[in-house]
Structure 1
Amino acid sequence: MTNNKKRQRVPHHPTSTLYSADTSRSESSLKLCRLTSNSSFNDNSTADVILRLYVDSSSPFVWDSTAEDEVQIYLHSDLLHRSKYFAALLSDRWQNPVSNINGINSDNDKKFIRLNFDVSSPTPSSISDHMTVLQLLYTDDFSSVINSVTVALDLLPVALKLLFEDCVKACVKFIEAVPWTEEEEKRVIEIIPLIREEQSRELLSRLYAPDDSCEEMLNGLIMSAIHNHPNTASVKAFVAKLLREFASRESARRVLERAFEESLKVVKESLEEYSSPDFRGDTCETEAIQRLNLHTAMTNGRHLVWLVERMIELRVADSAVKEWIEQAEFTVNLQRTFRDDAWRNIVPGLPSVVMRCTCKLANGVAGGTILATRQVRMKLVKDWLPVLIVCKDNVSPLVPSQKALYLDLEETFLRIISTLPMSDAQELLQQCLSFSTKNLEDCPHLIRAFNTWFRRATQPSLTGDHC
C-alpha cells in the first residue's frame, strides 16, 4: 500500500545518533553509554526490529509543524524488553522473528519484526521525544539526557506510555530534586495523575499542604514580624504586603483576629498586674516588676497598632472593634495607670500607643470602613472617652504628635456621636466639654458638634407629617 506521508529514514550506521529537531538534546545523547557491546541504537547490521514512528494527521492533537511526520528506526528486541509495552507486544513472537505485526517483510534478505507506533500528542516535538526515550533503552546513563525540567517533562509522558520504568523513575527523580518555573509547575500538576501514587508522593507533598497550613504560615509570619525578627520594620512591611495580596480574606481575618486577641490579652494582663495592690511598694524587686509590666504593655501595644492597621486595610476589623468595646476593666486600669506618675519615666509613649489603637478603630467606624451597629458605636465612645480625657489631663506637656493624635480622636468621637440618637448624643456631648480650650479657635470641632445637636433638637418634628 502506498503511504503518502512524508518519510525520513535514519542513516543506517552503527555510530548514528538520535534523530531530533532538538539540537541540544541530540548533542547530549552523544554521551550515552551502550548497555551491550553488540547493540547500538539504530544499527541495521545487528537489529532485529524495525519501528516506524509516525504522526496520525487525523488526530485532533497534531500541531502544525515543520518537523518530519514519520521516521524509521532499527532496534534490538532484547533491549526493547526494558519497555513493558514492547515486552508485552512481542512476548509471543521472539521464537518466530519472521512474523510481525503488519505482515512478513524483508530488508536486504534479513528478516525483521516490523512495528508501527503512532506518536500523535499535543506537542510539536513528539517524534523527537519518542526517539530520545527509545535511545535511552540503550543506556543507564539517564543524566546525560535528562538534564532539565523541560526535558524531563517532555520525556516522562512517553516513558509512561511505553511503560519504561527506569526512564520514568529517572524523570520523576530529576523533577523532584530541582526548582520549577511557574509554567513547569503547571505541567507537573497536569502529569501527576498519570504517575503511580508511590512515585508521585514527593511531588504531591511539594505542591499541596494540609487545609490549615496557609493560616498557620500566616500566623507564624505575623508572630515573627512582631515578636522575633530583629529587623522589625522591613519584615512588618513585607508581611503586610503578603496579607494584602493573600487570596483568602477570611483566612487573613482569622489569623489577624487571633494575633489581635493574643496581643490584647498580654497588654491587659500587664496593666492589671501593674495596677494590682500586690505590686505596690518601694522595694527594688517591686520596681523591677512594675517596669517589666509597663514595658510589656508598651511593646504589645505597638503590636496592636500594627495589627489594627492591617485589619482596617483589609476591611476585616469588625471583630476587633467589638472586642475593643468589651474592655471595661481594661479601661479602668488604664485610667488608674495614667493618673499615676510612675509610668512617665518608664514608658512615656504608652498613652499614645493605646490611643492610637482607639483612634484607628474609631476612624474606621466613622469613615464607614467598619460598619458598626448603634450599640457598638455608642459603647466605643462611652467606654474610651474617659480614657482620652485622663490622657489629656495627665500627659503634660503635650508634644505636637500627641496633641495631633488627641485632637484627631476628639473629632472622630464627635463624628460618631453625630450618628447616634439625640438622647445618646446629649449624654455623651456633655462629657466632651473637656475638649474646649481658652482659645475657642482651637476647638471648632466641639462648637460644630454642639451646633449640630441644637439645630436638630430645635427643628420641627416630622412625625405628624408622616402619620
Structure 2
Amino acid sequence: MEKRSIAQGYTFGDKNTSDITILLKSWEGRPEFLHCHSAILIKKSKFFADRLSLDYSTCRTNEPMSCIQVPCKVSEYDHYLKLLKLMYLSEDSLLESWDSVKSTLGVLRASIDLNCNSVTQSCIQYLEAVPWDEKEEEEVLKIIPKLGPAAVPILARIQPVNFDAAKNVFISAVRFSTCIERSFPPFTDELKTSAQEQMEYMLTQDEDAPLLTADEAVRSEVRTGLINLFTTFESELISMMQVNLKRSAEEAEKGLLQSLSDLEWMCCMLPKMEMMKDFVSCWADITDKLLSVLQNEVYILGLWEVKVKVIELVGKALDAIGYGSIVLPAPLRVQFLKTWLPYLRKMKPLLDLKSKDEFSACRLDADLCQNIEGAIVSLILALPSGDQAEIFGEWMQSAEQLSFPDLSEAFEVWCYRTKTAKRRLFVGLNEAGNHTVSL
C-alpha cells in the first residue's frame, strides 16, 4: 500500500511534501491526523475537490484550507485509511490491492461517501469477479442502491433468470436425477442427491416465489422421469428373485432401497406440480409384483428396511387419495385400500417386534402411522356405504386387526349414517314431491 505513484510523484503520509491534513475523527476514538496532497485528493475524490475548491465565499481568509475533517465510526476507520492510501496508486496497482470481499466492501462504502469514482470502479470490478458467501452477498445488496448504473456488472450475477433458462436447467436436472440420459458419466450419489434437493427447492412455495412454474414441457419430462424410476424399480424387484443368478442379496437389497429413495423424492416433487396422480397410477400398476416379492417365503422375515420404505410410500399415496389431492373413481379407491390394508395390518406388529432398538431402521415412525390411519379413515368415509360395510366386517373378524389402523371413528360414522339413511332419504324425497318411491 506504500507504493509510490510514478505519475503523481507523491507518497501518502509524506509530511515534507504534504499540503493538506485529513482528520479522521471517529465518535468513539481519538482523532487521527493524516498528511496528504491536495493534487491527489482533488483528482481522485469529488468530495475533497469540492472542499478544496478555490471558492472562498465561505472562508474568512484567502488562504486555502489546510485541514479537512472526515467523520467516521471506529469500525470504519481502517476502511477510510485504506481508501486514502489507495488514492495514491496507479490504476493497475489499485486492482491488485484487493485481498478480500469483506475489506473491499468496507472500502467501497467509504469510496461512495467520498465520491472516489476510480476506487469505486475498481471495487466493482473486483467484486464482480470473485465469489461471495451468503453474508457478503447481503452486504452487496445493501450497497447496490447507492451505486446506480455502475452496479450493472454486479447485478448480472444475482438478477432473475428468464423462464426458458430456468426451465432448461430444471429439465436437465430431471434427466440427470432420474437417469433418463444414460450417457451421463458416473456422478457420485452426493451430487445426485444435491440435484434432487435443488429441484425440490426450485418448486417450493415459501416467502419467495417458486423459481419455476411447471409448464407442460416440464411436466412431460418429469412424467418421463417418473416412469423411468418405476422401470428401474421393477428391474430391482426382478433382481430380488434372481439373487443367486446375478447378484448377492445385499447388492439387490441396496439397489431396491436406492430405487425406493428416488421414488420418495419424486413424492416430494409431484404434489408441488399437481402430478401425484401419476405416482399413484404407476404404484398401482406395480403393486402385485411388489407384494409378490415382499411376501415371498424367501423374504418373509427379511428386507425390513425395504418394507418400512414401502409403507412410507404407501402412506404418501393414501394421503393423496384419502384427502382428495387426487380424484379417483370409487372402484379404484376400493381396490387400492383392499390391496394395502391387509399388508399394513400384518406388517405393523411385525415391525414393532423387530424394532426393539430405539434407533432401528425397522421402526415405523409414530407420526407416519397416525397419518396413514387418518388417511385411511378419510378414504373409507368417502366410499359407497356397501364398500364401507365390507371393510368394517373384515376389520372386526380378528382382534389383531383392531389396533392398526384403528377404524373406530369411521365405523361410528358409518353406523350413524346407516341408521339414519332411510329416514334422511325419505324426507328428501318427500320434499321433492316424489311419493311413489318405496324404501
State which of 393, 417, 428 in structure 2 corresponds to 1:456. 417
- Return the offset for 1:189: 2.0
Residue deviations 1:367-418 (CA, integer Å, cap 9, x gap) = xxx5547x5484662241353379689x99x95469998x999956751344
Describe the shift of the 1:411–1:419 C-alpha distance in structure 2 as closer, same or farther (beyond 3 A).
same
Say if 1:413 and 1:163 are closer, same or farther in 2 by CA, change over 3 A: closer
Which residue identity is paired with 1:204? L
Secondary structure of the corresponding residue to residue 32 of structure 1: coil
- In the TM superposition, residue 152 of structure 1 has moved relative to its aligned partner by 2.8
From the superposition, tell whether residues 345 and 189 of structure 1 become closer, same or farther in structure 2 (CA, over 3 Å): same
Distance of aligned partners of 1:198 and 1:378 in 2 relative to their CA distance in 1, 3 Å threshold: same
Is 1:430 aligned with 2:399? no
| Preserved CA contact (<8 Å) 1:41 1:138 | yes
Equivalent residues in 2 for 1:176-325, closer than 5 Å: 176=128, 184-195=136-147, 201=153, 203-208=154-159, 210=161, 220=173, 229-230=188-189, 247-248=207-208, 250=210, 261=223, 264-269=226-231, 299-308=258-267, 310=268, 316=271, 319-325=274-280
Q: Secondary structure at the match of 1:210?
A: coil
The reply to whether residue 387 of structure 1 matches residue 339 of structure 2 is: yes
- Which runs of no fewer than 5 residues in structure 2 stay unpaired? 180-185, 355-362, 432-439
Quote the Cα distance in structure 2 between the aligned partners of 1:270 and 1:181: 39
State the match for 1:101 in structure 2. Answer: 55
Partner of 2:377: 415
User: Following the alignment from structure 2 to structure 1, what is the Cα–Cα distance between the partners of residues 138 and 193?
Assistant: 32
SS in 2 for 1:453: helix
Q: Deviations over 1:421-452 (max 9, x none)?
A: 6xx13135436766565x44544757886675
Task: Provide Cα deviations, 1:255-277, integer angstroms capped at 9, x if missing partner.
Answer: 9989974554125445888999x
Deviations along 1:4-61, whole A, 9 cap, x unmatched? xxxxxxxxxxxxxxxxxxxxxxxxxxx51333596444656545x5477799xxxxxx
| From 97, 117, 123, the counterpart of 1:171 | 123
Q: Indicate the structure whose relative CO is greater, using CA pairs within 8 Å and at least 6 residues apart.
A: 1
Query: Residues 13 and 35 of structure 2 are in contact (CA less than 8 Å); yes or no, is this contact kept in structure 1?
Result: yes
For the residue of structure 2 that corresponds to 1:461, the secondary structure is helix
Change (3 A) 1:428 1:180: same
Structure with larger Rg: 1
Query: In the superposition, relative to structure 1, how do residues 250 and 457 fare at CA in structure 2: closer, same or farther (>3 Å)?
Result: farther
Partner AA of 1:32 in structure 2: E
Distance of 2:97 and 2:60 partners within structure 1: 33
- In the alignment, structure 1 residue 331 sits paired with structure 2 residue 287: no
The verdict on how the C-alpha distance between 1:436 and 1:144 changes in structure 2, with shifts beyond 3 A counting, is: same
- The structural deviation recorded for 1:326 is 4.3
In structure 1, what is the equivalent of residue 88 of structure 2?
Answer: 138
Residue correspondences, number? 393
Over 3 Å counting, the alpha-carbon distance change for 1:260 and 1:355 in structure 2 is: farther
Distance across 1 between alignment mates of 2:264 and 2:206: 21
Q: CA RMSD in A?
A: 6.6
Match of 2:44 in 1: 83
Counterpart of 2:315 (choices 347, 350, 359) is 359
Q: How much has 1:232 moved relative to structure 2?
A: 10
**Amino acid of the structure 2 residue aligned with 1:456:** R
Match of 1:58 in 2: none
Question: What is the deviation of 1:357?
Answer: 1.8
Residue matched to 2:435: none
Equivalent pair of 1:40/1:138 in contact (CA under 8 Å): yes
Residue ranges of structure 1 left out of the alignment (5+ in a row): 1-30, 56-63, 94-98, 277-283
What secondary structure is seen at the aligned counterpart in 2 of 1:33?
A: coil
Letter in structure 2 aligned against 1:427: D
